[in-house]
């Protein structure tokens, strides 16, 4: 990270933001087509004009600026810019076509592209809005960066740094371009599987497509005001649960299902993910058994835990009626989240596993000579010291942001457990609400949740770098003048 001692190359950032605008203009075309299908020609015009404007601006930037080789710092800044700008562009036609206040439309768009699922939208906004919101979650789940890498950027150092800034070091192919294309294929396949499962469970085609987009992206938006609680029986909740789990498992593992299925089954992070799911369900069932309402073991208990740990955010009943103990269980599950390399948010199971390894290593070293080398290893991967520093930094920043956000909610009169619940849901990009999130909430609290959702999706560091003065401005070094006597 020594490159950050010098400011970013603004023209290099602008050049690749031009690539991004070109890609995102085609993303906006899809809801425009859906608006035509539903004969909503007003929405068609708004989405069409916004798509054209993004395409023209992206083309101008792309053609005007020369090619640049990106450094790591530029790649991180681009990742930090992509999501808030995507939400801004999506919010324009959304606000104009529904009559929503622009700030509420921006909240909805941020919730979509960050795959969160918190909503402040009115109930009667129409099918085009529901599709656009679900489509935004599906695109946000796989990431605009993947589309840019797969289609527009040539293989090389720039592609590698863009990939690493967004997806880390995980690769399943020799090059990052081939890796991103493979991940894209996996994403499309599990989406199709989800659509089929939902159709077979009795859901309509439109609802199946919208819910499948939100399941595999672990987003949680629903076409129904009561979310999954609007559907009778256990078939649809079961199909939703399976689809969410598919989205929360590392996409890197899926290619091994056909070639090396034992590697998929024996993956340590996957085992811990499923173990937390089972343990959380048992504890949540114990807390629910003390409540004064009837619940279904599958539809309410297991489904809600799956929704929380996959950070999907679907619900089958009003969570505001839960006791503090039940809410606390969901909060802890939301913090953990899914697997690395998936669409799930949260701290991630791998980081939790690594944290336990670090604690174990510290305790073991108390009984060993100081010069003894005790490497930390997860499966075949030896953890470097830099990864531990990154873990400690992430955990500290995550905690500070969570505490600050919850405290602001408390200043507005929201009780402690609900404040922590809403902040945790946004920061882990879950989308569950204990009743505080609504269109009537103060603008300040909406702004807090918007920032939390962006932090949760971008994973804190890039967004912080975006607002550091040293990222943009070169600071003059102070030199001491030596006076000779």
pLDDT value at residue 2? 45
pLDDT at 485: 47
Other residues' Cβ atoms within 10 Å of the Cβ of residue 326: 21
Q: Please state which of the ranges 2-6, 70-74, 76-80 shows the lowest mean pLDDT.
A: 2-6
Average pLDDT over residues 403-419: 96
Q: How does pLDDT run across 201-221, given as a tens digit for each residue?
A: 999 999 999 999 999 999 989
Say whether pLDDT at 155 is over 60: no
Tell me what the mean pLDDT of segment 299-303 comes to. 85
For the chain, state the CA radius of gyration: 23
Whether the predicted pLDDT of 150 surpasses 60:
no
CB atoms closer than 10 angstroms to residue 458: 23
Q: Is the pLDDT of residue 427 over 70?
A: yes
Q: What residue has token string 């990106």?
A: 70
**Which tokens go with 413?**
């009169």
Domain assignments of the chain as residue spans, ordered by start: 2-263
- pLDDT of 234 reads 87
> Taking 60 as the threshold, does the pLDDT of residue 264 lie above it?
yes
C-alpha 194/C-alpha 199 separation (Å) is 9
Contact between residue 432 and residue 425 where contact means Cβ atoms under 8 Å apart: yes
Q: Read off the tokens for 4.
A: 């950050």
Given the structure tokens 């992430």, which residue do they identify?
394
Residue 320, token pair as written in the block: 């505001």
Mean of per-residue pLDDT scores for the chain: 86
Judged by DSSP in three states, 81 sits in: helix
> Residue 422: how many CA atoms within 13 Å on its side-chain side?
28
More confident residue, 469 or 96: 96
| 351-399 pLDDT tens trace | 898 888 888 888 888 888 877 777 787 777 777 787 888 888 899 999 9
Please check the confidence at residue 1 and state whether its pLDDT lies above 50: no
Confidence of residue 34 (pLDDT cuts 50, 70, 90): very high
Whole-angstrom distance, CA of residue 348 vs CA of residue 297? 26
What's the pLDDT score for residue 378? 75
Pairing of strands 377-378, 381-382: antiparallel
Q: Token pair for residue 376?
A: 């930390």
Indicate the pLDDT class of residue 4, thresholds 50, 70 and 90. very low
Segment 288-310 mean pLDDT: 82
Least confident of 25-34, 42-51, 165-174, 379-388: 165-174
pTM value is 0.90
Res 36 pLDDT > 80: yes
pLDDT of 477 above 60? no
- Residue 3, pLDDT > 50, answer no
- How many whole angstroms separate alpha carbon 79 and alpha carbon 81? 6
Say if CB 175 and CB 46 are below 8 A apart.
no
Q: Tell me, what's the pLDDT at 484?
A: 52
């Amino acid at each position: 990270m020594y490159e950050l001692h010098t400011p970013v190359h603004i023209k290099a950032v602008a050049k690749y933001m031009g690539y991004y605008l070109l890609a995102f203009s085609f993303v906006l075309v899809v809801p425009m087509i859906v608006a035509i299908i539903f004969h909503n020609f007003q929405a068609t015009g708004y989405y069409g004009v916004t798509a054209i404007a993004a395409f023209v601006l992206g083309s101008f930037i792309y053609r005007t600026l020369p090619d640049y080789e990106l450094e790591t710092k530029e790649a991180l800044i681009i990742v930090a810019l992509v999501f808030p700008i995507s939400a801004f562009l999506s919010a324009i036609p959304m606000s104009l076509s529904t009559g929503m206040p622009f700030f509420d439309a921006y909240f909805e768009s941020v919730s979509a592209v960050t795959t969160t699922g918190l909503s402040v939208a009115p109930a009667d906004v129409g099918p085009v809005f529901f599709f656009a919101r679900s489509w935004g979650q599906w695109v946000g789940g796989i990431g605009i960066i993947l589309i840019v890498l797969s289609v527009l950027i040539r293989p090389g150092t720039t592609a590698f740094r863009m990939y690493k800034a967004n997806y880390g070091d995980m690769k399943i192919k020799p090059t990052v371009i081939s890796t991103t294309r493979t991940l894209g294929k996996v994403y499309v396949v599990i989406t199709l599987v989800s659509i089929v499962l939902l159709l077979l469970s009795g859901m309509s085609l439109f609802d199946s497509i919208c819910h499948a987009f939100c399941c595999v992206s672990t987003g949680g938006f629903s076409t129904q005001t009561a979310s999954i609680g609007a559907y009778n029986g256990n078939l649809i909740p079961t199909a939703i649960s399976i689809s969410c789990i598919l989205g929360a498992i590392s996409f890197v593992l899926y290619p091994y299902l056909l070639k090396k299925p034992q590697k998929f089954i024996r993956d340590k992070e996957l085992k811990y993910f499923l173990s937390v799911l089972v343990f959380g369900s048992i504890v949540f069932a114990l807390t629910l058994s003390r409540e004064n309402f009837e619940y279904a073991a599958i539809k309410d208990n297991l489904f809600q835990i799956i929704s929380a740990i996959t950070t999907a955010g679907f619900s089958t009943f009003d969570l505001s009626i839960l006791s503090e103990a039940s809410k606390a269980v969901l909060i802890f599950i939301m913090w953990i989240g899914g697997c690395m390399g998936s669409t799930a948010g949260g701290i991630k199971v791998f980081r939790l596993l690594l944290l336990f390894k670090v604690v174990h290593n510290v305790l073991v070293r108390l009984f060993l000579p100081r010069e003894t080398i005790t490497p930390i290893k997860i499966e075949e991967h030896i953890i470097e010291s830099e990864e531990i520093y990154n873990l400690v930094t992430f955990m500290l920043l995550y905690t500070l942001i969570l505490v600050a956000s919850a405290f602001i909610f408390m200043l507005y009169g929201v009780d402690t457990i609900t404040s922590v619940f809403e902040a945790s849901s946004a920061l882990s990009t879950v989308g569950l609400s204990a009743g505080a999130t609504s269109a009537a909430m103060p603008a300040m609290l909406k702004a807090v949740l918007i920032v939390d959702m962006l932090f949760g999706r971008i994973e804190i560091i890039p967004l912080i770098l975006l607002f550091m003065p040293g990222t943009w401005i070169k600071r003059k070094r102070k030199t001491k003048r030596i006076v000779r006597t």
